[in-house]
Structure 1
């Protein structure tokens, strides 16, 4: 008996985005049935959900779901909404790693003042050359060594910056890696630039706080490409005020959009961006999710499955 074709239901935080993703899946997989989630409607009988910040009613309304696919690498926005027994898959990269590596590299260049002096003097019509920076004076710590963090670390290291990496489990790489609580302290204390690429879990929430930042070398710089929940904003602001942090490049916040009266907006050394460091590339996401569904249809394991107990 031939396998029944996949039946998808798409659910995102915005109806217009749900429709757009549904249309993309219909084009990419014309033989599949693709529905859009509408709360309060009868069950569609879907077998796979493709979601981003879905309504929790989805999982009660669609009891036939076999697995859920998240339209992003971070699953903190869905992990608490999905039944614990439901297999959950996340995107692994899907075009985001290169974007986030570029973003982090831009932050490093801002931190070391590679181009800022020239931007300022160009506005005044001045012609003056500065000595090259000494990269050895700007060691970088990358927290999180998944597909995205590893890419960030490799790109920065390839340009001659001393790089160290930290993750929950010890990794092997071409740069020093650390793990555990003591390893975190050692990694950060040997660094002047801190790049956060961690998943948000109960263990990492509020990790970038007064204690951690105090280990960073004086005049340090913070780059956050992960989640706002990693940062204790009051502690980051205190470090900026005291000068222990010389600046920051921040892309994610506990409340988004960032409120107009938030102190980050008024600090010249802080650059705020609207959560754009790594945007899902639709074509790659469609291919990745589609290929994984095809594997599951054949009874084979698929990559990217989330460990609910770990949160990633």
Structure 2
């Protein structure tokens, strides 16, 4: 008996975005049935959900779901709404790792002042060369060594910056790696630039606080490409005010859009970006999710499954 074709239901934060993703799946997989989630409607009988910050009602309204696919690498926005027994899959890279490595590298270049003096003097019509950066004075700690964090670390290390990596479990790499609470202190203490690429879990929420920042070498710099919930904003602001942090490049916040009266806007050494360090590449996401569904249809395992107890 032939296997029944996949039946998808798409649920995102906005109806227009839901419709756009649904249309894309219909184009790439024309034989599959694709519905758009509307709260309060009868069950569509869908077997796979494609989501981004979905309404929790989705999982009650669609009791036949076999698995859920998140349209991003971070699953913190769906982890609290999805049933614990529901298989949840996250995107693995899907074009985001290169973008986020590029973003982090830009932050490193801002931290070391590679081009800032030239930008300033160009506006004044001045011609003056400066001594090259001594990269040994700017060691970088990368927190989180998944697909994205590892890419960030490798790109920065390839340019001669000393790199240290920290993760929940000890990794092996071409640079020093650490794990655990003691390892976190050692990793950060060895560094002057801190790049956060961690998943947001109950264990990592508020991790970048006064204690962690105090271990960073004086005149340090913070780059956040992960989630706003990792940062204790008051502690970051205090470190900036004291000069222990010379600046920060921040892409994610606990409230988005960042409110107009948030203190970060008023700090000249802080650059705020609207959560754009890693934007899902639609074509790659469609291909990755589709190939995983095909594997599940054949009774085969697929990569990217989230461990509910760990949150990633």
TM interval, short-chain normalised: over 0.9
Match of 2:198 in 1: 198
For residues 192-211 of structure 1, give each alpha carbon's deviation from its aligned partner in whole angstroms, at most 9, with x where no partner exists.
Answer: 00000000000000000000
**Matched residue, 1:31:** 31
Matched residues, number: 312
Deviations 1:136-175 (A, max 9, x none): 0000000000000000000000000000000000000000
Counterparts of residues 146-225 of structure 1 (less than 5 Å): 146-225=146-225
Question: Deviation per CA, 1:97-146, whole angstroms, max 9, x where unpaired?
Answer: 00000000000000000000100111111111100010000000000000
Match of 1:59 in 2: 59
Q: Deviations over 1:18-77 (max 9, x none)?
A: 000000000000000000000000000000000000000000000000000000000000
The list of structure 1 runs, each at least 4 consecutive aligned residues, that deviate by more than 4 angstroms after superposition, is none
Matches of 1:120 and 1:41, distance apart in 2: 58
Structure 2 alignment gaps of length 5 or more: none
2-structure distance, mates of 1:293, 1:67? 9
Per the alignment, in what secondary structure is the counterpart of residue 81 of structure 1? coil
- Equivalent position SS for 2:9: strand
Post-superposition CA distance 1:213-264 (Å, at most 9, x none)? 0000000000000000000000000000000000000000000000001110
Distance in 2, Cα, partners of 1:35 & 1:256 = 28
Q: Distance in 1 between matches of 2:63 and 2:94?
A: 29
Distance (Å, rounded) in 1 between the aligned partners of 2:129 and 2:308: 53
Q: Distance in 1 between matches of 2:131 and 2:199?
A: 38
Provide the aligned C-alpha RMSD in A.
Answer: 0.3
Partners of 2:133 and 2:35 in 1: how far apart? 55
User: Is residue 2:296 matched to residue 1:296?
Assistant: yes
SS in 2 for 1:78: helix
Q: Helix, strand or coil: the match of 2:199? A: coil
Partner secondary structure for residue 249 of structure 1: strand
Show CA shifts across 1:267-292 (max 9, x none).
Answer: 11100000000000000000000000
- Measured after TM superposition, the shift of residue 86 of structure 1 is 0.3
CA distance, structure 2, for counterparts of residue 87 and residue 55 of structure 1? 17
Provide the TM-score with structure 2 as the length reference: 1.00
Equivalences for 1:208-287 in 2 at 5 Å? Answer: 208-287=208-287
**Counterpart secondary structure, 1:141:** strand
Deviates more, 1:64-73 or 1:116-125: 116-125
Distance 1:161 1:227 in 2: 25
Write the distance in 2 (CA, Å) between the matches of 1:300 and 1:239.
Answer: 50
For 1:109 and 1:249, locate their aligned partners in 2 and report how far apart those are by CA, in whole Å.
Answer: 11
Question: Secondary structure of the residue that 2:178 maps to in structure 1?
Answer: strand
